[in-house]
């Protein structure tokens, strides 16, 4: 539900929900409003501006009544003496120039863009893309430029992206992964055109990217690949972008990397893993890893795990791999919180 619909029946406020939404946005200021405006459609933003232009002086009691319903720390005591003018100034500072022109100045924007904006209001194209079959979608992208592929993959969940990346030849895969590291936010006009092309070509009817974030995203993809594929990507990065390769390696961890965990870290990790999940992950595992894990458990927990492992059970390979990914993901989470080290610390 948008903020316009949310404030519809609160007593003591202006009758028009759009007017209350305008008061809230003005109280938030440009930075706070920017985070909300991206969730509104162009029509809703136009309505908010129109409502602000008709508001008289808004007293602090009205501001506080609206804001208290949303977040108490957004309160603003000063009155809004010129809501219409202030809303224009807020929108100009919260939106990019391309976004503002696309919404409010149809005569000065590219006529083709107006059609694209309206077309993209049919729904979130990225939600539609996420519903596509990954391998089939990857095959369709083989003819696209690697930069285009990188932009698309960067907007998907890592699990889907890793499934797709397996469909690419090593040269293309490595090229795309390198490009993900250097992606920058697209201008509004370019983003709109891109999304429309994706909708038209691949979807049928039937934040600022920071370098650290790119490494983390890339790591989530690589962590889901097999050892050979992940090593190919790392080798490619080591030769062309050694610093990125080093940063990426620090974020990589798979079930097979358990032997690299220091003893204290292993104890911390296995204490956080449910016993049934651990047993599932150990089925069919390398005997050395099985012994490593079992030796890290308490005597009683080890006996129970060994007893379960001796039982013949029918279990899908995908379930085993899923359990191993969960353990690796938990290790990365705990490492991110500073509760364990993924590798022995080497003194400089």
Average the pLDDT over 207-231 and give the result: 65
Q: What Å distances lie between residue 2 and 45, 50, 54, CA to CA?
A: 11, 17, 21
Q: In the chain, pLDDT over 90 holds for what percent of residues?
A: 11
Residue of higher predicted confidence among 91 and 242? 242
Helix (H) or strand (E) holding 192: helix 188-202
Q: How confident is the model at residue 90 (pLDDT cuts 50, 70, 90)?
A: low
In contact, 218 and 177? CB cutoff 8 Å: yes
Q: Which of 28-37, 136-145, 272-281, 330-339 bottoms out in mean pLDDT, i.e. has the lowest? A: 28-37
Q: How confident is the model at residue 76 (pLDDT cuts 50, 70, 90)?
A: very low
Q: Please give the full DSSP string across 33-72, using - where no structure is assigned.
A: HHHHHTTS-HHHHHHHHHHHHH--PBPHHHHHHHHHHH-G
Average the pLDDT over 330-335 and give the result: 85
Helix (H) or strand (E) holding 189: helix 188-202
Per-residue confidence (pLDDT) for residue 181, from 0 to 100: 87
Q: What share of the chain is helix, strand, coil (3-state, %, to 5)?
A: 70, 0, 30
Domains observed in the chain: 3-95 (1.10.220), 125-249 (1.10.220.30), 255-336 (1.10.220.30)
Q: What global pTM score does this model have?
A: 0.42
């Amino acid at each position: 539900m948008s903020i316009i619909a949310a404030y519809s029946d609160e007593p003591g406020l202006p009758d028009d929900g759009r007017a209350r939404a305008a008061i809230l946005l003005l109280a938030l200021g440009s930075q706070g409003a920017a985070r909300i405006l991206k969730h509104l459609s162009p029509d809703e933003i136009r309505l908010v501006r129109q409502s602000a232009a008709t508001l008289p002086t808004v007293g602090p009691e009205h501001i506080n009544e609206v804001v208290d319903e949303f977040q108490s720390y957004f309160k603003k005591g000063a009155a809004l003496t010129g809501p219409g003018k202030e809303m224009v100034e807020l929108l100009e500072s919260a939106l990019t120039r391309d976004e503002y022109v696309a919404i409010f100045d149809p005569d000065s924007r590219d006529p083709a863009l107006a059609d694209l904006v309206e077309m993209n209001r049919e729904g979130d194209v990225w939600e539609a893309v996420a519903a596509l079959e990954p391998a089939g979608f990857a095959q369709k992208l083989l003819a696209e430029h690697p930069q285009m592929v990188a932009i698309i993959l960067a907007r998907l969940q890592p699990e889907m992206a890793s499934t797709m990346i397996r469909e690419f030849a090593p040269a293309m895969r490595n090229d795309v992964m390198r490009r993900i590291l250097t992606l920058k936010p697209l201008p509004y006009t370019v983003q709109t055109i891109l999304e429309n092309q994706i909708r038209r070509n691949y979807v049928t009817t039937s934040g600022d990217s920071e370098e650290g974030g790119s490494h983390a995203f890339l790591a989530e993809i690589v962590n889901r690949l097999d050892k050979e594929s992940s090593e190919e990507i790392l080798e490619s990065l080591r030769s062309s972008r050694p610093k990125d390769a080093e940063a990426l390696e620090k974020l990589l961890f798979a079930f097979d990397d358990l032997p690299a965990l220091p003893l204290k870290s292993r104890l911390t990790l296995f204490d956080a893993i449910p016993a049934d999940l651990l047993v599932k992950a150990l089925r069919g595992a390398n005997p050395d890893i099985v012994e490593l894990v079992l030796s890290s458990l308490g005597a009683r927990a080890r006996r129970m795990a060994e007893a379960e492992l001796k039982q013949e059970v029918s279990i899908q390979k995908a379930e085993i791999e899923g359990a191993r990914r969960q353990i690796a993901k938990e290790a990365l989470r705990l490492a991110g919180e500073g509760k364990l080290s993924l590798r022995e610390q080497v003194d400089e």
